[in-house]
């Protein structure tokens, strides 16, 4: 069954990290963030809108993101998100936490451990 999307509990807590991480590239709007995450993860990760938009609002409320409405030539207006200095700090924290977690999992599960 190969390349199914990851769904369910594993994604919990990673949405802010994914959002902040893709926004490091520059400004993006919500719909585009979802596509970018899916692309960059090779299709493995695809946070749904029901979790993406609340996460964006939460990050904006925390001051980690700065947002702005802009009209589009075609289609509805878009809300562009940009990472703030505070967001960069938060990203660093999330990255460190993910790294620690990932290393801990690798050791505990040990499918490929050195010892």
Partner DNA sequence: TGCCGCTACCTCGTAATCCAAGGTAGATGC
Partner DNA sequence: GCATCTACCTTGGATTACGAGGTAGCGGCA
Residues within the interface to its own copies (CB under 8 A): 3-4, 6, 8-14, 17-18, 21-22, 37, 40-42, 44-45, 95, 97-115
If binding is defined by CB under 7 A, does position 49 make contact with DNA? yes
Q: Does 86 sit near DNA (CB under 7 A)? A: no
CA 80 from centroid of its chain's CA atoms? 15
Cα–Cα distance, 37 to 67 (Å, whole number): 19
Closer residue to its own copies (CB): 44 or 68: 44
88 contact, one of its own copies, DNA, none, CB 5-8 Å limit per kind: none
**E strand residue ranges, the chain:** 28-29, 65-70, 78-83
- Residue 53's alpha-carbon distances to 5, 47, 82, 100, 107, in angstroms, are 19, 10, 15, 27, 34
- Count how many residues are written for the chain: 115
Written as six digits, the tokens of 35 are 């596509």
**Alpha-carbon gap, residue 31 to 3, rounded angstroms:** 23
Stretch of 71-79, 84-92, 94-102, 106-114 lying at the interface with DNA (CB under 7 A): 71-79
User: Nearer Cβ to DNA, position 54 or 89?
Assistant: 54
According to the binding rule CB under 7 A, does residue 53 interact with DNA? Answer: yes
Candidates 1, 26, 74, 114; binder of DNA (CB under 7 A) is 74
Q: Is 40 in the site for DNA (CB under 7 A)?
A: no
């Amino acid at each position: 069954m190969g390349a199914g999307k990851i769904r369910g509990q594993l994604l919990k807590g990673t949405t802010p990290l994914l959002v902040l991480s893709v926004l490091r590239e520059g400004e993006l709007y919500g719909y585009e963030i979802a596509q970018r995450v899916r692309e960059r993860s090779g299709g493995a990760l695809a946070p749904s809108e029901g979790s993406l938009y609340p996460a964006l609002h939460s990050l904006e409320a925390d001051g980690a993101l700065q947002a702005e409405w802009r009209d589009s030539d075609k289609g509805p207006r878009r809300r562009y998100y940009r990472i703030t200095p505070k967001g960069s700090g938060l990203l660093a924290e999330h990255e460190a936490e993910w790294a620690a977690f990932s290393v801990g999992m690798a050791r505990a599960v040990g499918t490929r451990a050195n010892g």
